[in-house]
């Protein structure tokens, strides 16, 4: 029965397969190394790899000694692309001109064979791309395709092959270099998941990644013919820890790609048309268990980018699917609500980027399980696709020749004394200036991640606040840190359900009350946006005015004018410490019942939700307090 289901699923999806040429890379180099003829890769990848010996191809080889090699006895099953190779006997390189800076994909094809006295399976070499060490002491006896994602900020991309040892050599059968879409790797929005909880991970595109796994969860193998980025996706069955916990789901409807969500270049349609969901047939009454996949990645303690793909193809209506996501048994997302993350459209593809270290067994474990939200009808969890890429740290992986290393050591030794003197001088100067000027430190929240302007992760829907009429109200986070002495507790004047309130002084000497939200606040993003929209339009002499806001570094901060005489509540509701000398109630203060006649109330902040309302009681709360809600 299972075999028939898989066959039916494959035939169904096959009817939707079509080769797409909608994505055309600005930079697109396909090289048939060591060959004087152009050829395609496979019947499922009909792109043409150009001959290396053409006048255009020769400019790729920039330096070094190398020879072309041809396999005289190729296997009938071997692609023509793998029947030739370029062999490097000294440090050699290819150089490609880059027309558009940004993220690029680099694929290196290795298929060993014997010819002309060379046994490619005995080759041992390292590979560097623009100085980043990608392969060290590499050798293989089987066919290997290595894929890397790297940001290029120069006018050229250089792939350098360096033989290891005097009698060794390097080789390559084919090379692909092409530019990726601009939103393929975004700097903002990734989450670092580990023992310390969830943290924001920034500057993602500055790292180099090696693709380890690309999985079509719940579906069949997808070949380059099915993918606009010419990728191969394999089934997930071999990685399931308990196969009985999962049940395949699939649809024949094309996904509803939305602007700001995942695109076809992020993952093809077929990935989002299949999934694994909870197998409720095991225990229909108590389906409280997780689906877990175990992906071997090599060594333990190595940082990886884990990209999870989601598309709700199992719910009959919106807001029916809530679930939790775990990485290596650590919570990555709780009460995951695809309806709110996909613009309230069913079957809308999206993805989330996580950063996680491989466990002690050299694996990355991914789990999804039901949330506590909702009743029995909402008990489910889903996953459509997984991509795992090993992160390579550019500063630590750059490597040059031995001579360069020697000169670095010599230069460091000669300049050591001078550098030491400079450090002492700077340290002394810093001590003198430390009390004069505050140096803002970086503050990150564990529970929030920055809001993206573009892209397709869970945090890709940037508020329209910062894009139009409210831009003038934005206050840099560094200015707020300076104003509050880095949120010094001695300046704390109150707290509430939203967070703490600090007294501060801006650069123009304006005294302010800074309300800083805390993780887990009962006032979420919609209320934060609503308060900016409403209070920025209200100007009343009896109401505390909103001066500005800040949402940098995943913060939610509101800045109000500071009330010198304290909150009005102190005068209207005196406590036990009040006395006859308490300040008189200001003559211009008004009673709560009078607010409705003097203050405009707006509804519908654009999303149609009830959270967009600001009632008289809320306005009166602002009038009564300078210390949060």
Indicate the annotated binding residues for ATP: 515
For 371-410, b/e burial (b = at least 16 CB within 10 A) is: bebeeeeebbbbbbbbbbbbebeeeeeeeeeeeeeeeeee
Q: How far apart are CA 218 and CA 267, in angstroms?
A: 15
Q: Tell me the binding residues.
A: 515
Pairing outcome for strands 546-550 and 511-517? unpaired
Q: How far apart are CA 550 and CA 528, in angstroms?
A: 10
Residue 110: which of 89, 141, 131 has the closest Cα?
141
Q: Coil, strand or helix: which one is 168?
A: coil
Other CB atoms within 10 Å distance of the CB of residue 84:
25
Retrieve residue 236's tokens: 């997930």
Contacts with 441 (C-beta within 8 Å, 6 or more apart), sequence order: 481, 486
In three-state form (DSSP H/G/I as H, E/B as E, the rest C), the secondary structure along 244-267 is HHEEEEECCCCCCCCCCCCCCCCC
Q: How far apart are CA 306 and CA 454, in angstroms?
A: 19
- Give the side-chain half-sphere CA count within 13 A for 225: 13
Retrieve residue 224's tokens: 């380059």
Q: Coil, strand or helix: which one is 354?
A: strand
Edge-first strand listing for the sheet containing 291-296 = 291-296, 363-370, 322-327, 330-337
Retrieve residue 203's tokens: 């500057």
For 499-537, b/e burial (b = at least 16 CB within 10 A) is: bbbbbbebeeeeebbbbbbeeebebebbbbbbbbbbbbe
Q: What are the angstrom distances between the C-alpha of 594 and each of 116, 175, 536?
A: 96, 75, 21
DSSP assignment, residue 240? B
């Amino acid at each position: 029965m299972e075999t028939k289901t898989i066959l039916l699923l494959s035939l169904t999806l096959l009817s939707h397969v079509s080769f797409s040429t909608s994505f055309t890379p600005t930079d697109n180099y396909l090289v048939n190394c060591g060959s004087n003829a152009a050829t395609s890769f496979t019947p499922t990848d009909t792109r043409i790899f150009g001959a290396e010996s053409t006048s255009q191809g020769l400019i790729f080889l920039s330096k070094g000694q190398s020879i072309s090699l041809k396999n005289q006895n190729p296997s009938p099953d071997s692609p023509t692309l793998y029947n030739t190779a370029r062999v490097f006997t000294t440090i050699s390189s290819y150089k490609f001109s880059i027309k558009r800076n940004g993220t690029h994909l680099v694929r290196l094809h290795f298929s060993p064979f014997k010819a002309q006295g060379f046994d490619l399976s005995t080759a041992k070499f390292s590979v560097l791309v623009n100085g980043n060490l990608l392969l060290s002491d590499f050798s293989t006896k089987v066919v290997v395709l290595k894929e890397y994602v790297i940001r290029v900020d120069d006018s050229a991309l250089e792939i350098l092959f360096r033989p290891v040892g005097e009698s060794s050599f390097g080789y390559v059968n084919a090379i692909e270099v092409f530019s990726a879409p601009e939103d393929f790797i975004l700097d903002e929005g990734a989450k670092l998941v580990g023992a310390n909880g969830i943290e924001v991970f920034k500057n993602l595109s500055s790292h180099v990644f090696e693709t380890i796994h690309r999985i079509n969860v719940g579906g069949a193998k997808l070949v380059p013919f099915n993918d606009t980025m010419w990728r191969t996706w394999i089934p997930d069955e071999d990685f399931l820890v308990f196969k009985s916990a999962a049940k395949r789901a699939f649809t024949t409807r094309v996904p509803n790609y939305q602007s700001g969500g995942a695109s076809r270049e992020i993952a093809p349609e077929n990935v989002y048309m299949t999934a694994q969901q909870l197998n409720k047939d095991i225990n229909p009454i108590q389906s409280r268990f997780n689906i877990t996949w175990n992906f071997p990645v090599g060594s333990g303690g190595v940082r990886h980018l884990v990209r999870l793909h989601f598309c709700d193809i199992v719910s009959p209506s919106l807001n029916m699917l809530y679930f939790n996501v775990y990485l290596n048994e650590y919570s990555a997302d709780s009460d995951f609500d695809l309806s709110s993350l996909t613009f309230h459209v069913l079957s809308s593809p999206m993805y989330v980027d996580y950063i996680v270290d491989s466990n002690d067994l050299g694996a990355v474990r991914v789990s999804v399980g039901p949330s506590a939200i909702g009743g029995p009808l909402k008990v489910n969890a889903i996953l459509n696709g997984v991509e795992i890429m090993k992160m390579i740290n550019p500063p630590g992986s750059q490597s040059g020749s031995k001579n360069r290393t020697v000169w670095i050591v010599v230069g460091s030794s000669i300049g050591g004394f001078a550098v030491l003197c400079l450090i002492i001088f700077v340290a002394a100067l810093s001590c003198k200036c430390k009390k004069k000027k505050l140096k803002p430190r970086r503050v990150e929240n564990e529970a929030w991640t920055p809001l993206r302007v573009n892209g397709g992760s869970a945090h890709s829907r940037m508020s329209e606040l910062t894009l139009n009429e409210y831009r003038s109200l934005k206050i840099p986070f560094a200015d707020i840190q300076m104003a509050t002495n880095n949120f010094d507790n001695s300046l704390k004047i109150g707290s509430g359900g939203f967070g703490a309130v600090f007294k501060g002084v801006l650069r123009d000497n304006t005294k302010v009350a800074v309300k800083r939200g805390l993780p887990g606040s009962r006032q979420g993003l919609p209320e934060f946006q609503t308060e900016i929209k409403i209070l920025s339009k209200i100007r009343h002499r009896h109401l505390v005015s909103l001066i500005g806001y800040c949402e940098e570094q995943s913060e939610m901060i509101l800045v109000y004018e500071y009330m010198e005489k304290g909150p009005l509540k102190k005068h209207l509701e005196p406590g036990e410490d009040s006395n006859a000398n308490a300040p008189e109630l200001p003559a211009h203060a008004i009673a709560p019942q009078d607010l409705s006649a003097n203050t405009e109330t707006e509804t519908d902040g654009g999303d149609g939700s009830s959270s967009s309302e600001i009632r008289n009681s809320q306005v009166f709360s602002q009038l009564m307090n300078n210390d949060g809600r």
